[in-house]
Amino acid sequence: MLHRQILAALFALMIATVGLSRTQDSTKYELYSWKQGNVWYYALFEEGTRAAAYEEIVSEKSTIKGTAALEAALKKLPKGKEILWMSDAPPGIEKPNGKNLPDLKLPSRQRIKRVKAYCDRLGIKLTLV
C-alpha cells in the first residue's frame, strides 16, 4: 500500500514538474530592427510587455546598437525561448506622421542568417514574422 502511495506521489510530482517547465518555456520575445546610417539597431521585448507606442520601440531606453550587442543580449536569454522577429510594427502601433523616426524592417538575408545561426547555437528559436 505504501509503495503505491509513493509511486502516485512521484507520478504527481513528475506531472507538476513537466507542467511548470512548459509554462516557464512559453515566454516569447519580440525583436524589432531598423537601420540608421550604416548601423543596425534592435529592440527586444518580452511578449506582453512590449512597447505600446512606436516611439517606445525606437527609444534610447529600448535600443540595442549593433549586431554584436544584440548577440550579447540574446546570450542572456534562457535556452528554449522563442523570439518573433517582427518585419514591421505590430498592428495598432503606427509610425507617427511628421516625426523623423526610422522605419522598422528586417536586415539583409545574410545578417538574418547570422543571427539565426547564433540563436540556434544558444537553443533559442527565431521566427520571422
| HSE toward the beta carbon, residue 67, CA cutoff 13 A | 17
> What residue ranges do the domains of the chain occupy?
27-128
- Give pLDDT tens digits for 49-94: 666 788 889 999 999 999 999 999 999 999 999 999 999 887 778 8
Q: What is the pLDDT of residue 39?
A: 96
Q: What are the cell numbers at 71?
A: 548577440
Specify the pLDDT at position 7: 45
What whole-number distance in Å separates Cα of residue 83 and Cα of residue 54?
A: 19
Predicted confidence (pLDDT) per residue in 4-58, tens digit: 555 444 455 555 555 444 445 578 899 999 999 999 999 999 877 666 788 889 9
CA 43 to chain centre: 9
